[in-house]
Structure 1
Amino acid sequence: MKNETSFLKNPFFISWILALLFYSLEYAIRSSPSVMIGNLQTNYDTSSTEISSLISAYYITYSITSLAAGLFLDRYGAKKPVFFGILVLAIGCLLFGGSYYDVGYAGRLMQGMGSAMAFPAAVYIAVKAFSGKNLATAIGITQTLGMLGGSAGQKLSNSYLSSGNSVSSIWIIFGAASLILALLALLFIPKSEVSENHEKQKNIFDNYKIIFSNPQSYLCGLISGLLFAPTTIFAMIWGVNFLQKTRNISLESATVACALVPIGWAIGCPLLGWIADKIKRRIPVIVGGAILMAVSLLQLSYLPDLVSENISFLFLGIGSGAAMIPYSIIKEVNPDKVKGSAAGAINFLTFGVTTLLAPLFSKLFGSKLTIGLNDNSLLQHSLLFFVIGIFGTVIISFFLKETGNVKPAETN
């Protein structure tokens, strides 16, 4: 029993809890704007298309900063990067709560920049807090609670705004919570010994050269990005608004439906990962998850009375758990020495896809939403946009190297 609970006495255990809170908070901040598009339109006095661009700006800095997050952690340890990451997130929230569009846009960019530190930091600290036996479980908990934070962010934000509170005040609350968490991180995360060897840092940049010269890395990022897109673009940005205006359902019901996508993801990610390990095959599980997503979206589009929106979105989320499998593959198709950098690389590629697709979706479908009241065809066409991308991942996956049955020479 002593060995099983020894991690509780590890000073990095509290640090991991703080990193876990950081990751959950940033996911709540990432997803919350989806339930307040109308409020943000009024606050900034602009169109829904402009608000979509504002919300999507998060992914621009999130994807780019993901590359640097691991470098900062390796160079400085967890204490300073986590503190500054949360601090930048807090400032971004406070700026986003203002009434000037350009200031809000800068705030959203800062939110993405600060948030990019959350998951890499949680993994970095987990390595120090847990033994190898408990490490995978700790990382799985981190991923799951992050998505649950996204779901909670949508539900709680909707309840708060429905009570008559202003949209500005909720971002002040997010900012204040982030500042408190930043202070706790500064107080409780211990300093860790880090290498001052600049040659080693130089080699880290060389790692990215290796990763980005491997075509398989791009396939991993493209597959993951296309499978994440229905969550990041639809469920976390447009979904609530689309369901309200094309299906004429209440804000509360639309919020619950979209919030079930991250809950489904929290189920699907460990479940599909377990299946992939059990059958020792990665590609069939990716294809299976993609098919489940496509069927869920097609049912929602063309057979809406078959099951409720809640069930459709839950299964969409479960299927999207397959988006995490390429995170394992990219480490397996690249040399062992670059596995740490591979996580930052695929985050960059995955959310780079969101950065490119979000404005395209907004232009093609979001701009028509105001004239598409009770227009089910608009919802059908918008969801087909994602179905096409999902079927694209099925085709791309056949060019991906199967790594599930390969026994690595070295494990992390």
Structure 2
Amino acid sequence: MTSEEVGQRPAHRPSVPAWLPWLIWSLGALFFCYGFFQRMAPSVIIDPLMRDFAVGAAVLGNLSAIYFYAYAGLQIPVGLLADAWGPRRLLTAGALCCGAGSLLFALAPDLNIAYLGRLLVGVGAAASFVGTLKLATNWFPASRFAQLTGMTMAAGMLGGVGGQVPLAAAVESFGWRSTLAAAALGGLILAILIWLIVRDRRPDAPAPRFTGGAAPRGGLRLVLRMPQQWLLAFLGGAMTAPMLAFAGLWGVAWLMQIHGMTRPEAASHTSLLLIGWAIGSPLAGALADRIGRRLPILRAGALIGLCCLMLLLYVPGLPSPIFLALFLIAGIGLSATAVTFAVAREITPTHAVGAAYGLLNGAVVGGGALFQPLLGLLLDLQWDGHMVEGAPIYSARAFDLAFLSLAVFLLLALLASLLLSETREKR
């Protein structure tokens, strides 16, 4: 246990109330929840967006995925800033930017302004997960880290659920523009709370080893030279792609167009994948902490997710209870992604963990950045020109071929995980 951890404080330093680390972590997790709500929002407004901006699936995929381009592309810089600048300022600025982007997107008169709004949302949200993990690193012992990572992911999934059925109901009642404009207020409130309450590290912790940029850059070079970091990144990206690309955008359209569901019904189904993720993330983290082993949980989760995905997409006529259960179980399995961050912490020196989190989380979100527009492009290539009320309608074959890419990517990552070496929890 390091001097940053609970129970290792010099006698002359002030003690820390037991509730304070949880309060500080919870504000970071709440921001991640808000960012995830914004991430998932386009999935329930596909038809209105296509009509308002007169675009097809490929363009809409890019409009949604520009969030992921910004988020994923900024993860390494965000990780360096978390190491050198501190999570408090990073999270405050991110929340402000995320709220401003939501407002701009809601008011966008044309596609270019809509792109800019989604870009700002992604830039702001980019700080949320890595900043929260940095708070967990600075305020909690390493023996709690995998569980806290899972709990942070669970908070994000709850935000994703809010971006499904509740958002769909609000959009039906108030329209997508008014709803997202109202949601922009959340970013401002979070920024104020984070600035007033969050502190970068425990008051009983030693001063940081550096404040300039040279050491963080050295940490990045160290991380980039580690093959295990790249294997983790590949596995994490593949395990989150079904959630970000399927539940996050194209799953609702598939359920409406192929299975004849209403928008709220379709959103409730894809929400089950997110709920499964919210349930499974803290459980996977807690189990990994308890047994002190990571890879069995990671591999089992990826295999469960792959099997459920294949059954959902390619076995017709499943009874409704089984169909619903597969969404939930797939989310539980794929939620083992949380454990990849525990592995990254254990193989990385403390001064470089922000860079490691940035690389890994960039790849995790990069799965969505890659597959949201890729699936849209594959759908457009199979489109027969059929439209209803100005929105393209795609065939079952088009969806089958597009979604097959998710399963192939996940299978390759599962095979790549066999090259990972087991780590042991640092105590």
TM-score band (shorter)?
Answer: 0.7 to 0.9
Seen in structure 2, the aligned counterparts of structure 1 residues 91 and 337 have a Cα distance that, compared at 3 Å, is: closer
* Aligned residue in 2 for 1:91: 100
Task: Give yes or no for the alignment of 1:207 onto 2:216.
Answer: no
**Cα offset for 1:85?**
0.7
**One-letter amino acid of the counterpart of residue 227, structure 1:** M
In structure 2, stretches of 5+ residues that fail to align are: 1-6, 8-15, 387-391
Matches of 2:152 and 2:302 in 1, distance apart?
Answer: 23
Residue 264 of structure 2 aligns with which residue?
Answer: 252
Which amino acid counterpart does residue 112 of structure 1 have in structure 2?
A: G
Q: What residue in structure 2 maps to residue 378 of structure 1? A: 398
In the TM superposition, what are the counterparts of 1:52-91 in structure 2 within 5 Å? 52-91=61-100
- Check conservation: 1:7, 1:130, Cα contact below 8 A: no
Matching residue of 1:356 = 370
Name the counterpart of 1:46. Answer: 55
1:6 to 6, 17, 26: 17
- Residue in 2 aligned with 1:267? 279
Query: Percent same amino acid at aligned positions?
Result: 28
- SS state at 1:401 partner: coil
Question: Is 2:57–2:379's contact at 8 Å kept on the other side of the alignment?
Answer: no
**Pairwise CA distance, 1:37:** 0.7
1:283–1:307 distance in 2 versus 1, CA, 3 Å? farther
Aligned partner (choices 170, 190, 196) of residue 181 of structure 1: 190
What does residue range 79-228 of structure 1 map to in structure 2 within 5 Å?
Answer: 79-97=88-106, 98-127=108-137, 138-163=148-173, 165-190=174-199, 195=208, 197-198=210-211, 201-228=213-240
Residue number in structure 1 paired with 2:342: 328
Matched with 2:11 is none
Deviations 1:12-66 (A, max 9, x none): 6544333232111111111111000111112223223211110011111111222
- The answer to whether 1:345 aligns with 2:369 is no
Match of 2:407 in 1: 387
What TM-score do the two structures reach when normalised by structure 2?
0.84
User: Residue 139 and residue 287 in structure 1: after superposition, are their counterparts in 2 closer, same or farther (change >3 A)?
Assistant: closer
Change (3 A) 1:136 1:296: closer
User: Can you list the C-alpha shifts for 1:238-275, whole angstroms capped at 9, x where unaligned?
Assistant: 11011111222211111001111111111222333444
- Contact preservation (8 Å) 1:286, 1:322: yes
Query: What amino acid is aligned across from residue 39 of structure 1 in structure 2?
Result: P
1:367 CA drift (Å): 5.4
State the TM-score, normalized to the length of structure 1: 0.87
Aligned-partner residue type, residue 409 of structure 2: G
Equivalent position amino acid for 2:422 in 1:
E
Alpha carbons of 1:215 and 1:383: their partners in 2 closer, same or farther (altered >3 Å)?
same
Letter in 1 for 2:58: T
| Structure 1 position 134, deviation (Å) | 6.3
Letter in 2 for 1:162: E
